[in-house]
Amino acid sequence: MTDRQNFSETDNPADRTAQVVILGAGPAGLLLGNLLHRAGIDCVVLERADLAHLHARARAGFLAENTVRILERHGLAEGLRSHGRPHATCEFRTDDGRFRLDYAQLARGERHTVYPQQNLVADLLTAYLDAGGRVHFGTEALRVLDTDSERPIVEARGPDGRSVRWRARYVAGCDGGLGAARRSLPPGTVVHHHDHGLSWLSLLVEAPPSLDAVGYAVHERGFAGHMARTARITRYYLQCERGTPPDAWDEDRIWHELNVRMRAAEHGPLHRGSVVQRTVVDLECDVVESLRHGALLLAGDAASMPTPSAAKGANLAVLEAEILAAALVDDLAHGDGRALADYSRRCLEHIWRAQEFSHWMVRLLHAAPGPDGAPSSYDAGLRRTRLEALRTSRVQQDWFAENYVGL
């Protein structure tokens, strides 16, 4: 695959061209590239990271059934079907004990497939390259110009530091909330933003899962979460103060807090292992409205950033990429621009629903900070009521299951 890792054209002083330039080689960008390439649309993916970093970039790993259906529909689900693990149980631990929800037995009867995002990215990249798709690694898009024209320009910097320009009919911004697509939005673009005032220490631990469920622990010391990734790797979350550096807590403190908040003394010990990755995640979210600005279209985290509280990001990215691919094919191959004109509206319906449920999950798991920064006693009371309703009401459980897995 080495010969295909970077299609270097730095000897050509002229602008390079493609019908669609895709910014970012995450799930949205690579699925979009696969679908456009198969439809005969000339496209190229620009990715600022190198190939090794792309394969090692650990992200969310809970794929909804609709995401699996989309990948299967396009023949891109072989890896997750072979190595993904079905998952359908979550456990809540509180001062009042613990309870479980088998959400595959509720609402629509849907479940998740646990499949690390870096594995999905590797699958999509392999399929794209095997089909002859073009990718430029180590190429950072800097800005998108002339988005109100029919020949927008992407200015980028290649692996050698030299400038390069791409001309296209459309530019698909799939490069996240800090990428060139967001930076190139025209003045006056509405970006809805909300900061929950909460932060998590996100930990990737070299240890097998400690329970056969997603674990949500609500504790007076703060939230703690447990999510399996593989048979040997587990993701943990610990609520921390805003501004905490990722390396502020040593491993002894991390494991002490996890054991206390997850009530290991009552419900069973945690499998301890080395912390191999740690970051601090501020629970902030945003939505760009609209997702189309002339020839610039947004998908994935460039379109909206939900909190990680309900694992919606990758699932939204796959859904949006399929919708965008079909709309671009209609426009470029058949001269029918109606679906493209409706792209933003269709996606925003799904995005706002995912945002609403993610917001609800944040309020379920945390008491919002009051004016003095301490948890609000009023909000804590509402949280107890929400948890009790989820424990006892079948109607509430069905609503939770439909939104937890669905979009």
One of 103, 115, 343, 404 is an active-site residue; which one? 404
**Rounded to an integer, what distance in angstroms lies between the CA atom of residue 145 and that of residue 213?**
47
| Domain match, 109 and 121 both | no
Query: Can 128 be counted among the known catalytic residues?
Result: no
Q: pLDDT digits over 146-191, tens only? A: 999 999 999 999 999 999 999 999 999 999 999 999 999 999 999 9
| 272 and 205 together in one domain | yes
Tell me which residue of 232, 224, 314, 309 sits closest to 271, measured CA to CA: 232
| pLDDT tens-digit map of 358-389 | 999 999 999 777 777 677 788 888 999 999 99
Question: How far is Cα 148 from Cα 170, in angstroms, rounded to an integer?
Answer: 10
Q: If you average pLDDT over every residue of the chain, what do you get?
A: 93
Confidence at residue 14, expressed as pLDDT on a 0 to 100 scale: 63
Q: Are residues 216 and 339 in the same domain?
A: no
Name the pTM for this structure. Answer: 0.93
Are residues 147 and 159 located together in one domain of the fold? yes
* Matching residue, tokens 């206390």: 260
Within this chain, do residues 110 and 137 fall inside the same structural domain, yes or no? Answer: no
pLDDT tens for each residue of 63-109:
999 999 999 999 999 999 999 999 999 999 999 999 999 999 999 99
Q: Is 236 a catalytic residue?
A: no
- The reply to whether 231 and 327 lie within a common domain is no
Residue 74 annotated as catalytic = no
Under DSSP, the state recorded for 368 is P
Residues 126 and 226 in one domain: no
Q: Which of 126, 118, 109, 59 is nearest to 83 (CA)?
A: 118
- Contact between 131 and 70 (Cβ < 8 Å): no
pLDDT tens profile 329-348:
999 999 999 999 999 999 99
CATH at 40: 3.50.50.60
Q: Which of 87, 112, 293, 366 is catalytic?
A: 87
pLDDT confidence of residue 265: 94
Q: 216 an active-site residue? A: yes
Q: Which position among 170, 216, 236, 343 bears the catalytic label?
A: 216
CB 228 within 8 A of CB 234: yes
- Is 404 annotated as catalytic? yes
Number of domains in the chain: 2
Angle 252-254-259 (CA atoms, 0-180°, nearest 5)? 95
Please indicate, yes or no, whether residues 252 and 312 belong to a single structural domain of this protein: no
Q: Residue 352's domain spans which residues?
A: 2-61+116-189+290-356
- Catalytic residue among 293, 312, 359, 366, which? 312
Spatial contact of 365 and 218, defined as CB atoms under 8 Å apart: yes
Q: Is the pLDDT of residue 54 over 90?
A: no
Long-range pairs, 177-180, Cβ under 8 A, ≥24:
177/286, 177/301, 177/302, 177/305, 179/23, 179/24, 179/141, 179/302, 180/23, 180/140, 180/141, 180/142, 180/143, 180/144, 180/154
Catalytic residue among 27, 209, 306, 308: 308
